[in-house]
Amino acid sequence: MAIRLRRGLRLRARVTLAFGLGALLLTTVLSIVTYLLVRDNLLETREQSAQSVATVNANQAQRRIIEEIDAGTTRDLLSNLRGVRAESTPAIRLDDEWISADPVVFEAPGNIDEKLLDLVSSSENLGAQMKYRLSNGTPVLVIGFPLTARNALYFEATPLDDIEDTLNALSQILIVTSAGICLLGIAIGGFASRRLLLPVGKVGQAARAIATGDLTARLEVGGDRDLEQLTDSFNQMASNLEERIQADAKFASNVSHELRSPLTTIMASLEVLNANREEFDQPSTVALELLTEDLERFRQLVEDLLEISRYEVNTNALDLERFMLREFLRAIAIQSGNETLNIEFLNGAEELIIEADKRRLARVMNNLLQNAENYAGGATRLTVNQIVRDIEISVEDHGPGIPEQERNTIFERFARGAEGGRRGSGTGTGLGLSLVAEHVKLHGGDVLVRGHKDGQAGSVFSITLPEVVR
């Protein structure tokens, strides 16, 4: 059963992003609420003060207008009225004439909003107020009262530019603070994600170790109760997997060992028959050849199964030793019947001394050479190239080649490919290349197959071994 995982950002990135967005959302809401509360409080305070002062000033103007003073005396009166701020400007509309302490600010009727003028004119001693901007851009609060004498209206304009400046400064502070808190949230999210996902990372490390063959990998049981169930389940799964693999490997090993004794007897008997094959008729000779071929394949299969069982049961057991690579490869070529094989050493690799499991590496090279013999008419060249601290050994042939769609599966167990199927049952067991991959992987290396760079027919099998010793 496969559990579907949603693709997208990595979990750590999503946790960090969630913290950052949460901090951004929280600070944004708090900033907006703070801005609105401060703005409303400042405006309310200013409106209350302006309303109180304007009421007193309007009563004083009312008494003087009743005395029928002239415009000059009225202007002097307006100049002496106390405002909420020094910039506050009173004005009176007397009949159709405007009298202002500051004609520049109150250039009638331009700086009195017509809607406010109508509201004040129609009100019954209650007055009206309105916030808007003057023609010069100054924000003001204008309060107006109707005066009972001589069809007069009293107005007082209180600048709000100081409040606007305060709010602008406040908004900048809130933006900077929000950005800082958002960055702090991202930092906390990054730290929290690392702490929270640390157990997940350990699970991943243990899973990768098991996937690479270390069946002894387990999770440490910690004090976190929330993770105890996950740890116990994972360790139980790993133990069950190890037991099953070891049981299968033991079974294969036992079967292989049980087969070796009768197989040895049969091989010995077959050698006796082959020694006297000239005494047989033609059908018997053909049958003997077929029997010899199949029996050899059977013997190879038993040896491969034994090798696999050893690999599964003791996967990390490398018997490392140092040896000269040049002498090793030439000995392998002679043992495999490829005495004339062309071996080329590149980048000074001829004098290399490597540290590896000699038995396993010999099995790798023999299997590659045997594969080339079975399917490609034999190897044509063997090249050794040193790349920094790594060494690359390649076996080339000029056979039919391996289709590109099979190159990723050719190293799987019992994968023989299309060419192997065409060659018949006597050409291999289907385990040779898989053993190559497993032995190389055990050394920390890699194996691949490709075509010739110059486009010639055939294949190039390359193994890479890390950390070469001079």
pTM value?
0.48
Environment class of residue 166 by beta-carbon count within 10 Å: exposed (0-12), middle (13-18) or buried (19+)?
middle
**Is the separation of the CB atoms in 72 and 100 below 8 Å?**
no
The pLDDT, as a whole number, for residue 82 is: 65
Q: Which residues neighbour 341 within 8 Å (Cβ) at sequence distance 6 or greater? A: 333, 369, 379, 381, 382
Planar angle of CA 234, 238, 244, nearest 5 degrees: 145
Strands 89-94 and 320-324: unpaired
CB within 8 A of 399, min separation 6: which ones?
Answer: 372, 375, 376, 377, 419, 457, 458, 459
Q: What is the pLDDT of residue 5?
A: 47
Q: Specify the pLDDT at position 357.
A: 87
Q: 320-465 in CATH: which number?
A: 3.30.565.10
Fold category of 12-165 in CATH: Beta-Lactamase (3.30.450)
Burial state string for 242-261 with b = 16 or more CB within 10 A and e = fewer than 16: beebeeebeebbeebeebee
Is the CB of residue 141 less than 8 Å from the CB of residue 163?
A: no
Q: Say whether domain 247-313 belongs to CATH 1.10.287.130.
A: yes
109: preceding bond cis by omega (within 30 degrees): yes
**155 contacts 90 by C-beta, under 8 angstroms:** yes
Cβ-contact 367, 429 below 8 angstroms: no
Q: Which residues contact 171 (CB under 8 A, 6 or more apart)?
A: 35
The domain segmentation of the chain, as residue ranges, is 12-165, 247-313, 320-465
Strand partners, 446: 464
pLDDT per residue, tens digit, the chain (470 aa), is 444 445 555 777 877 888 888 888 888 899 999 999 999 999 999 888 888 888 888 887 777 776 656 666 666 677 766 666 666 788 888 777 777 766 555 554 456 788 888 888 887 667 888 888 877 788 888 888 888 766 788 888 888 888 899 999 999 999 998 888 888 888 888 887 777 667 767 777 777 777 666 667 777 776 566 667 777 777 778 788 777 777 766 766 676 667 767 777 887 887 878 777 777 788 888 888 888 877 777 777 777 666 666 665 555 567 888 999 889 999 988 888 888 888 899 888 888 888 888 888 988 898 899 888 888 888 889 999 988 888 899 999 988 888 888 888 888 877 665 555 444 444 566 778 888 888 888 888 899 998 888 878 889 999 998 876 66
Output the pLDDT for position 338.
Answer: 83
Rounded distance between C-alpha atoms, residue 23 and residue 183, angstroms: 8
